[in-house]
Amino acid sequence: MVPRIALLILISFFILQCGSGKEEASGGHGTEGEAGKLAAPVPAASHIAAIPELAAYKKDLERILTSPLPVLTLPDAELHDEQERLAQELALGDSLFLKEARKTDTGEALHNEIMEIRLLQKEETQRLKLNCENGQCYWVELYNFFYRNTTAAIVDILEKKVLRVDYLESEQPALNARLKRIAREIALNTPEIKKELGAELEQAKVVFKDSKCERSLHLCVAVVFILKDRALWVIVDLNDHFAIGYKWSGLPDENRPFVMTERSLQNEYIMEHFCGVDQVLTKDEWEINSNLTSSDGLEVKNARFRGREVLHSAKIVDWHVSYSFKKDFGYSDAMGCPMFSSAANVAFRGTELEDIVENGAYSGFALIMDFRSPVWPLPCNYRYQNRYEFYKDGRFRICGVNMGQGCGVTGWYRPVFRIDLGQAGAAQAVEQWGGKNGNPKPANFGICKANKPHTPPKDIYSKFQRAMEAVFFCNPGPERLARTMLFLISPSNTPAWMKGKRTSPPSGPAVIPITARDPSSSSNPRRIFPEIITFFGMCPKWPTTTSPAVNTAGRS
């Protein structure tokens, strides 16, 4: 009996809403010199339930967003005297100081927060050429979480007026005491941090250091737990209220400052644990190896179901992007490692697992890796995903996910999949198979024959046979299809277009379109290819949207 294991080599397109319920492995007691680690995100609801001050902060934020003045002011406990209270009041009465308190186009209230109020020193007033000889000038600092800008007002409390307002674009502010306390509690409420500190937590001194979240563009801070001979740095995101990751270092030294940011931590973690490092996953009778490549995204290798290899290798070697207003090819995009790589879109977290539910029941799992441009989701930045689905019954599906957010809505994103079934050098066969009686059909091999979206008949299959050792049935999924191309490639004669050098494959002996008929027979669509083991799909040509789009290969 020849085992029949499902594979779809059809590239399709549909809209996917990304869900939650993902897992990521992390943790373990670390030492100085080890690479940083990422913390598993704790749901915001869990932090709010466990941290009373965060819960009160969220309520205050909800309140001010519906008030005439959408600004979180410093509470009375953080104001040192009546002069600071007056300085805050005067600044909040100035229209220039509140210029960005609301969206300019809609008037929607935004998250604004007073971060610092302090008396200006004599040296500062002299440098700014201010007449503040009586020590009556105060600095009031406001941060806008939406525009990510800091606004500073200099207030004369004797004259009761604002002397000047400065806009510090993309400048992070000094944190107020309330946010520092919240950041500390978020760090301590993160399981990995509790584990790292252990019994030493009681002896730890806490300080706060500047940090940046260059990729999320959120307000972040480094919470540093100082022990006798080392320090644990934890980066906390104060927009979404979670700990990003952590790293052990030596004691802080002002002469040799140590700086840890979101990007440096993520890069270090990915390079140490995923780039060129084989990961082994065993689940639901599947055993799967994966490896993050330099510029071909996450490659799945030697996937076995019930002990038998059914997939030797699969990856996305390129994303081809073209535009509706251009006849020529647009550009090629690549996914890969964050360092020592030519990829413009890099991994920033490890692989994740997501349950697959069909008809209300668990039916398998998806192995996912996310790749982004440096400052996605700003315009002209990109985000892609590798998504490999493995089902309990032996089916598997290979997906490329485009999250949109490019330079407009006229781009067509076409992933180039490379899928290797293995058994190089063995005789291969391919045929179209289907119909009401399940007999081979003497027709073109093509699954998609139209140049417009359509749903192909579900009883049509393509069958790929690997030296009689395994048969792969590929049937069209229910998704919309457009201009799908599928090619069989001989590894002994690799064409240049595989490397993204050309927009379309040339004709030649190494490239055999699946729409070709067997010239030796008008009735039998079967054809033997001695060394063909690799499949390339280039499609679909479809305008991008603001919703994620998934192009797939690999489902029965």
- DSSP letter for each residue of 134-186: TS-EEEEEEEETTTTEEEEEEEETTTTEEEEEEEETTPPPPPPHHHHHHHHHH
pLDDT in tens, the chain (556 residues): 333 222 333 333 222 223 333 444 333 455 556 778 899 889 889 999 999 999 999 999 999 999 999 999 998 888 989 999 999 999 999 999 999 999 988 999 999 999 999 999 888 888 888 888 777 899 999 999 999 999 999 999 998 999 999 999 888 899 999 999 999 999 999 999 999 998 788 888 999 999 999 888 899 999 999 988 889 999 999 999 999 999 998 887 766 667 889 988 988 888 888 888 999 999 999 999 999 998 899 999 999 988 888 888 899 888 877 776 555 566 778 888 888 777 778 888 889 999 999 899 999 999 999 998 877 777 778 889 999 999 998 888 888 888 766 676 667 777 888 887 775 544 555 554 444 444 444 333 333 333 333 343 444 444 444 443 455 555 444 443 333 344 444 444 444 433 333 333 333 222 233 332 333 333 333 333 323 333 333 323 333 333 334 444 433 2
Interatomic CA distance for residues 353 and 332, integer angstroms: 28
Minimal CA–CA distance to 515: which of 541, 485, 494?
Answer: 485
The 3-state DSSP class for residue 300 equals strand
C-alpha distances in Å from residue 167, one per residue of 105, 144, 163, 171, 398? 19, 11, 14, 9, 48
pLDDT, one tens digit per residue, over 288-337 is 999 999 889 999 999 998 888 888 889 988 887 777 655 556 677 888 88
Minimal CA–CA distance to 419: which of 487, 479, 349, 365?
Answer: 487
Interatomic CA distance for residues 404 and 16, integer angstroms: 12
The 3-state DSSP class for residue 272 equals helix
| CATH number, domain 73-168 | 3.10.450
pLDDT, one tens digit per residue, over 69-79 is 999 999 888 89
Interatomic CA distance for residues 159 and 340, integer angstroms: 58
Non-local (6+) Cβ contacts of 145 within 8 A are: 110, 111, 112, 113, 219, 239
Pairing of strands 37-38, 527-529: unpaired
Q: Residue 245: beta bridge partners?
A: 38, 235
Minimal CA–CA distance to 340: which of 278, 401, 292, 402?
Answer: 292
Q: How many Cα atoms occupy the beta-carbon half-sphere of 163 within 13 Å?
A: 19
